[in-house]
Chains A and B, each alone.
Chain A
Amino acid sequence: QVHLQESGPGLVKSSETLSLTCAVSGFSIGRGSYWGWIRQPPGKGLEWIGSIYHSGDAYYNPSLESRTTISVDASKGQFSLGMNSVTAADTAIYYCALVASPGIAPAADFWGQGILVTVS
């Protein structure tokens, strides 16, 4: 059974760095899929933050690119999100998931349960 689990601090101070990790079990990160981060601010819709391939090639939402880093450690079966200089606008539920890439639908519907990160 495939399981994705986000972990990290639920509370981050304004101007500091948000760091989250997604642990993937039951499915190899190296199986040629894109893994990504999506967030949902309170009362708002879904926003794609960025994606990473198992090789380490990463792609970001231009609106967040200047302060976002996504990395992968395929040997550990995990990928991570870093976002610096956070503000209250970054308060959101953060999801990790298997995501689409240009012209290619997600290979499967794999999502973490989501983690609420509050910026104080």
Chain B
Amino acid sequence: IQMTQSPSSLSASLGDRVIITCQASQDIFKYLSWYQHKEGTAPRLLIYDASKLGAGVPSRFSGSGSGTDFTFSIDYLQPEDLATYYCQQYDDLPLSFGGGTKVEIK
């Protein structure tokens, strides 16, 4: 299953709302997660089952969608949100990631 993520990078100001989209090449129902990956650290699970918040994840992160089209949002962008974000489908094997979105702070 191919996961197409966009944009590949973005630059936003502190306090902005950031939106990232992910499109699956076939119906993956709700089986999508979003990861935050900061340089030099392990990826962190933010969202699973398309819209459920991971343990300890701030509520400014959210996800929505089902089927083939999904959206990830960061409300009120914070300095610590500088990272690359990936979607991942787990409807079927092989597990597959989107290409990533690098979020930079203006």
- A-side interface residues toward B, CB under 8 Å? 36, 38, 45-48, 51, 59-62, 95, 97, 99-106, 108-109, 111-114
**Min distance, Cβ B97 to any Cβ of chain A, angstroms:** 5
Do B90 and A101 have beta carbons less than 8 Å apart?
yes
Residue numbers of B with Cβ under 8 A of A are 29, 31, 33, 35, 37, 41-45, 48-49, 52, 54-55, 84, 86, 88, 90-100
Measured CB to CB, the closest approach of chain A to B89, in angstroms, equals 9
- Give the total number of A-B pairs whose CB atoms are below 8 A apart: 70
Would A111 and B42 be within 8 Å (CB), given that A51-B95, A106-B48 are in contact? yes
A103 touches B91 (CB 8 A): yes
* Given A102-B91, A102-B92: A48 in contact with B97 (beta carbons within 8 A): yes
Docked-complex contact B33 and A100, CB < 8 angstroms = yes
B contacts with A: majority SS: loop
CB pair A45–B100 under 8 Å, yes or no, is: yes
Nearest residue (CB) in A for B96 is A48
Provide the residues of chain A in CB contact with B54, threshold 8 Å.
109
Chain B residue, CB-CB nearest to A104 = B90
Contact: B90 with A46, CB < 8 Å? no
List, in ascending order, chain A residues with CB within 8 A of B45's CB.
Answer: 106, 109
Q: How far is the CA of A98 from the CA of B53 in the complex (A)?
A: 17
B42 touches which of A47, A101, A103, A113 (Cβ 8 Å): A113
Output the least CB separation between B45 and chain A (Å): 4
Give the complex CA separation of A57 and B49 in angstroms: 24
Q: Which residues of B contact A109 (CB under 8 A)?
A: 44-45, 54-55
Q: How far does the alpha carbon of A6 sit from the alpha carbon of B74 in the complex, in Å?
A: 31
Known: A46-B97, A47-B97, A103-B31. A108 touches B55 (CB 8 A): yes
